[in-house]
Structure 1
Amino acid sequence: MKNARGFTLVELLVAITVLAIVAVMGWRGLDGIVRSREQLTQNMEQTRGIQLTFAQLQSDLEQIADKNLLRQRQNILADNTRLVFIRTVLAENAASQLQVVSYQIREGVLLRRESAQTRDLVQLDALWQSAIGDGGAQDGVALQGAVDAMAVRVWEAGGWKAPGNSQPVATPPPAGGGPNPPVAPQTEGPTGLEISLSIQGQPAPLIKVFLLGAV
């Protein structure tokens, strides 16, 4: 009986080489699947964050305070890094109050901050000054990361334009403690607002249009 013939060294090297190639191809495929899953998860989290951000903005802007209620005061201010406005807070079985809300980009993160609620216009002026002066912005709630810039336009008088950046003007008290002077009639304010967010990794900015005030 002849002895059984084993594998030669060359045959073993060929088999090992084939197995190594198969293993590398399998690892690359698995690595590609893992990377794709991670990217998909990241994109889903980013999309979810943007949706929540826009939903919060819509809820806030629906309650933006009317200029007539503010007696000539500015009710909205915006530039490429922030959006500040005054909204009306409606509570059940309680009188409505005013509140300053700000959205600001700090170190690539979009933060939302809200002031204390008040019915005193003098106190409201102080809260507004604090908000536009960046006071307390560090305690804001993070809404969206990887934000490069924010652009805002308002729809007013039949066209898009940048919102006014003047500070609120308080009505001066009457001399001698007499009755308050008459308030000048207000022109129609903005009825819509367009927000554009530039997100890292997105080829184009994300744009959303909101109606100002409850419909």
Structure 2
Amino acid sequence: MRRQRGFTLIELLVAISIMAVMAVLSWRGLDGMTRAQAQTRQRADEVLTLQAGLDQWTDDLNALMQLPQVNALDWDGRVLRMTRPAPNVSDGMLVVAWSRRDVNGTGQWLRWQSPPLRTRGDLANAWAEATLWAQNPGDEEKKREVAITPLLDWQIFYFRSDAWTNPLSSNGTSMAVNPVALAQGAPNASAPDGVRLVLTLPPGQALSGTLTRDWVRPTLGGNKS
């Protein structure tokens, strides 16, 4: 009878080695694809979050609420505060603040919002609370903040008299809620024709470097910004 020949031990070892190498290469390929997909999703989420923050920034400025003897916008070099209507107009108004602050060792661009305000006393308190939030917030103030994006630095400029100026300079008079002026009925300064936002984004993010966003007062630009 003819004897049937099988695989030798060496042939089996070689085949198993080849299959092991192919399995390792396949695993590395799948792992690389998974990592690339996760990184792509993370980058996309970072871009969408930044875009949502910039859209909210523009929406807050478009909704500036100017009241008699109350200035709607103020930049003190650390925090930009503004007044705007509450989502439900019958609830009154809000104080909104934007600032950069270190959070867990990382600079963050942050937005803060007060509860609905109905009286001038509530407005003055919320205005002061926004300043406190930007400098040394407590747990209550932090509950009303939203982190937008990591941020190295930021700058604000006002457009007045056909030029961009520092709001803290003599050409860009700061517009704050002054309780004394409020009580005396002093006139308030008008909002600037435009606001320029300059963000310095850190490396390692989906977007890095300098980003500039200009806003034009809708009543000045024919609803174009």
Q: With the length of structure 1 as denominator, give the TM-score of the two structures.
A: 0.74
How far residue 172 of structure 1 moved from its aligned partner, in angstroms, is 6.8
Q: Is the contact between residue 65 and residue 75 of structure 1 (CA under 8 Å) also seen in structure 2?
A: no
Rounded to whole Å, the distance in 1 between the matches of 2:11 and 2:155 is: 67
Q: What residue is the counterpart of 2:126 in the other structure?
A: 127
Q: What residue is the counterpart of 1:6 in the other structure?
A: 6
Q: For residues 16 and 173 of structure 1, do their structure 2 counterparts lie closer, same or farther at Cα, with a shift above 3 Å needed?
A: closer
Instruction: Tell me whether 159-168 or 130-139 shows the greater mean CA deviation.
Output: 159-168
Helix, strand or coil for the counterpart of 1:29? helix
Which structure ranks higher in relative contact order (CA pairs < 8 Å, sequence separation ≥ 6)? Answer: 1
Q: Is the contact between residue 53 and residue 143 of structure 1 (CA under 8 Å) also seen in structure 2?
A: no
Instruction: Give the total of aligned pairs.
Output: 202
Q: Are positions 1:103 and 2:104 aligned together? A: no
Query: Could you report, residue by residue, the CA deviation over 1:161-206 in whole angstroms, capped at 9, with x for unpaired residues?
Result: 33336753331756xxxxx5x648x5x6422222225255233244
Helix, strand or coil for the counterpart of 1:14? helix
Q: Is the contact between residue 63 and residue 89 of structure 1 (CA under 8 Å) also seen in structure 2?
A: no
Q: With the length of structure 2 as denominator, give the TM-score of the two structures.
A: 0.71
Choose the corresponding residue for 2:75, options 77, 87, 110.
77
Rounded to whole Å, the distance in 2 between the matches of 1:172 and 1:49 is: 38
Query: Could you report, residue by residue, the CA deviation over 1:17-63 in whole angstroms, capped at 9, with x for unpaired residues?
Result: 21122111111110111011101111222222122212222221112
Helix, strand or coil for the counterpart of 2:196? strand
Q: Are positions 1:210 and 2:205 aligned together? A: no
Q: For residues 194 and 171 of structure 1, do their structure 2 counterparts lie closer, same or farther at Cα, with a shift above 3 Å needed?
A: same
Q: For residues 146 and 189 of structure 1, do their structure 2 counterparts lie closer, same or farther at Cα, with a shift above 3 Å needed?
A: closer
Rounded to whole Å, the distance in 2 between the matches of 1:172 and 1:11 is: 94
Give unmatched runs, 5+ long, in structure 1: 175-179
Helix, strand or coil for the counterpart of 1:171? helix
How much identity, in percent, do the aligned residues show?
Answer: 23
Q: Are positions 1:61 and 2:34 aligned together? A: no
Rounded to whole Å, the distance in 2 between the matches of 1:87 and 1:213 is: 15
The structure with the largest alpha-carbon Rg is 1
AA at the equivalent of 2:156: V
Q: Are positions 1:171 and 2:176 aligned together? A: no
AA at the equivalent of 1:24: V
